Chains A and B, each alone.
Chain A
Amino acid sequence: MNDNLVEIQNITFSRSERLIYDDISISIPKGKITAIMGPSGIGKTTMLRLIGGQLKPDKGDITFAGKSIPSMNRSTLYQTRKAMSMLFQSGALFTDMSVFDNVAFALREHTQLSESVIETLVLLKLEAVGLRGAAQLLPSELSGGMARRAALARAIALDPELIMYDEPFAGQDPISMGVLVKLIRALSEALSVTSIVVTHDVNEVLDIADYVYILANQKVIGHGTAQEIKQSESPLVQQFLLGQADGPVPFHYPAPSMQAQLLGEDK
């Protein structure tokens, strides 16, 4: 078997008749941080849901540790999901439970560990994200950055092989951003997990990613190590890195011409 934990092979996927991916392939190497970048609405969250088996591609295959996710039956899929975890964009903490119970949730669901062992494990995870003191708070009492870190502690509770981060830096102040960047790096090194970071925050992620994919126009428009990406001469990649509003990647959602629409002409 090769060194890739996740292989996305030639997938095509559309949603409500809108094509999101057109025959794209991505490899996620084991134990590394892979970044998937692209403008909003390009289908980054969708990609993570495909890997997690919540959506199925129209064509192509996705493998996790060599096994095909879309063709798994329900119970195998649930079994496989225990080895992966996803940090949702909103954090998605369970609002009716304390931070402690949120982190303990998967341990209580999936293991037979005694409550005292669970307590130790949970406190260790919370310590890792610097929130041991916030264990008894409710999610509504946390700041945005703290919620993201609490969700991260929950995501690593079962020591997964794969962590998927959905826009971990979106809407964070510079300090929490720095904290999160360091945490993702540290977790990746300490636990040697495979990480996928999906984001449009170019600078943060180029600092920590081992390998980068850039998506646009339903395709992978560029990939390589952070260094290679920075030096890429592709106009598409440059537009994205420099944050230019319009260019090869169109600013406008497809629409009839403005003139035609304003003058009420048909089509």
Chain B
Amino acid sequence: MNWIIDLGANTLFKVIGIGRAFLMLTGALIAFPQWKNVSLTIKQIYVVGVQSLLIIMVSGLFIGMVMALQGYTILVGYGAEGSLGPMVSLSLLRELGPVVTALLFAGRAGSALTAEIGLMKATEQLSSLEMMAVDPLRRIVAPRIWAGVIAMPMLALIFSAIGILGGHLVGVEWLGVDSGSYWSIMQATVEWDKDVVNGIIKSIVFAIVVTWIAIFKGYDAVPTSEGISLATTQTVVLSSLAVLGLDFVLTALMFGIN
């Protein structure tokens, strides 16, 4: 009988957690925008965005190069190596750009956000803000959520752009695909709203989910060292799973049905 009780208690606990997460999100976003918060948001864009640039660019470069290499060996068998450009660019813009960026973002910026906010809680900085009549949801949480939502789509676009250049490097410079056809067939195939805009929409959805999970896990962490390390792990695991699951749903909605 005990497991039934446990199951019930666990479910209740999870549902209450989700409820708290929603309360945090609404509490943080309802009051925006305030002028003071704009400069805080810009600072956070620097922290989560600019400081993630290097890892995003290096990963994008390698993924573009690997895709050109793999794509070339398959396409050349059909004499279709001219389609390398669209293959690389479409996979990047539609899937790999948003998804890999979100996964890297969760590992690089998400975990840092959780640890930062968890530590602020453990060192009573959040309580201290409350007692100074400053709402930590508006002061700490809101700028970080906005920064994530603004930075991640840009990072994803940069990722895709560098990936396409990496594909060019391997496909054209190294394996000898015609440079003109790499670019021109790509231009003819990639559609603005279907491919680029859908990729950006995906990226915005991932950004909301990843930053929300990261910040909530920090905000809700048990304020001890184990609590914070557990919360950090959970951020990376949960947001990676959420990104992959949502990607399937979004792809089905965007590209599945014609």
Residues of A bordering B, CB below 8 Å: 49, 52, 54, 78-79, 81-82, 84-86, 88-90, 92-95, 105-106, 109-110
The A/B interface has a contact count, at CB < 8 Å, of 44
The answer for the CA separation of A226 and B135 in the assembled complex, in Å, is: 38
Instruction: Report whether A84 and B124 are in contact in the complex, using a CB–CB cutoff of 8 Å.
Output: no
Instruction: Report whether A88 and B128 are in contact in the complex, using a CB–CB cutoff of 8 Å.
Output: yes
What residues of A have a CB within 8 angstroms of the CB of B133 in the complex?
A: 78-79, 81-82, 106, 109-110
Q: How far is the CB of B69 from chain A (nearest CB, A)?
A: 44
Chain B residue at minimum C-beta to C-beta distance from A77: B133
Interface check B26, CB cutoff 8 A: no
Chain B interface category by residue count: 10 to 19
What residues of B have a CB within 8 angstroms of the CB of A79 in the complex?
A: 133
Residues of B bordering A, CB below 8 Å: 123-125, 127-128, 130-135
What residues of A have a CB within 8 angstroms of the CB of B130 in the complex?
A: 52, 54, 81
Q: Given B123, B127, B132, B135, which contacts A85 in the complex, CB threshold below 8 Å?
A: B132
Instruction: Report whether B123 and A109 are in contact in the complex, using a CB–CB cutoff of 8 Å.
Output: no
The interface residues of chain B, by DSSP majority, are classed as: loop
What residues of B have a CB within 8 angstroms of the CB of A88 in the complex?
A: 124, 127-128
Chain B residue at minimum C-beta to C-beta distance from A94: B125
What residues of B have a CB within 8 angstroms of the CB of A94 in the complex?
A: 125, 128
The answer for the CA separation of A89 and B123 in the assembled complex, in Å, is: 9
Q: How far is the CB of B76 from chain A (nearest CB, A)?
A: 54
With A92-B123, A95-B123 as contacts: A86 and B135 at CB distance below 8 Å: no
What residues of B have a CB within 8 angstroms of the CB of A84 in the complex?
A: 131
Instruction: Report whether B132 and A81 are in contact in the complex, using a CB–CB cutoff of 8 Å.
Output: yes
The answer for the CA separation of A35 and B111 in the assembled complex, in Å, is: 42
Q: A88-B124, A109-B132, A110-B133 are in contact. List 15 more A-B contacts (CB 8 A).
A: A49-B127, A54-B127, A54-B131, A78-B135, A79-B133, A81-B133, A85-B131, A85-B132, A88-B128, A89-B124, A92-B124, A92-B125, A92-B127, A94-B125, A109-B133
What residues of B have a CB within 8 angstroms of the CB of A92 in the complex?
A: 123-125, 127-128
What residues of A have a CB within 8 angstroms of the CB of B124 in the complex?
A: 88-90, 92
Q: Given B125, B127, B132, B135, which contacts A106 in the complex, CB threshold below 8 Å?
A: B132
Q: How far is the CB of B185 from chain A (nearest CB, A)?
A: 50
The answer for the CA separation of A89 and B131 in the assembled complex, in Å, is: 14
The answer for the CA separation of A49 and B133 in the assembled complex, in Å, is: 13
The answer for the CA separation of A52 and B131 in the assembled complex, in Å, is: 7
Q: How far is the CB of B128 from chain A (nearest CB, A)?
A: 4
What residues of B have a CB within 8 angstroms of the CB of A82 in the complex?
A: 133
Q: How far is the CB of B17 from chain A (nearest CB, A)?
A: 17
Chain A residue at minimum C-beta to C-beta distance from B135: A78
